Amino acid sequence: NGFTPLYMAAQENHIEVVKYLLENGANQSTATEDGFTPLAVALQQGHNQAVAILLENDTKGKVRLPALHIAARKDDTKSAALLLQNDHNADVQSKVT
């Protein structure tokens, strides 16, 4: 189902666990069956510190809904700013209609 330990740590905002897992080679690009990555779930939950850590580790991956779309839907300017500072494409198009 794609619910990796990193995904769960990001979802619950367990910052030290997120850091530890990344330091030990966790794949931050693994998505759930629904196409959500640890970055996406951290954004959805409003966990800006987890978002920043994942961005520092150059998180990538195929996602159902691009990270900036999640920030826009949540009216989350802090997350949007973090994403744009980390070279996320401001014009990315969603595959979801």
Q: What is the DSSP string of 14-67?
A: -HHHHHHHHHTT--TT---TTS--HHHHHHHHT-HHHHHHHHHTT-----SS-H
CATH number of the domain to which 59 belongs: 1.25.40.20
Which pLDDT score, from 0 to 100, does residue 3 have? Answer: 92
pLDDT of residue 81: 80
The answer to the question of residue 97 being in a domain is no
- Contact (Cβ atoms closer than 8 angstroms) between residue 7 and residue 29: no
Q: Which pLDDT score is estimated for 19?
A: 96
Q: pLDDT by residue for the chain (97 residues), tens digit each?
A: 779 999 999 999 999 999 999 999 999 888 888 888 898 899 889 898 998 898 888 655 545 556 777 777 778 788 778 777 766 555 555 554 4
In a domain, 28, yes or no: yes
Quote the distance between the C-alpha of residue 11 and its chain's center: 9
Angle, vertex CA 72, rays to CA 48 and CA 29, nearest 5: 55
0.75 exceeded by pTM: no
75 Ramachandran zone, left/alpha/beta (phi>0; psi -120 to 50): left
For the chain, what is the domain count? 1
pLDDT of residue 97: 44
Residue range(s) defining the domain that contains residue 71: 5-85
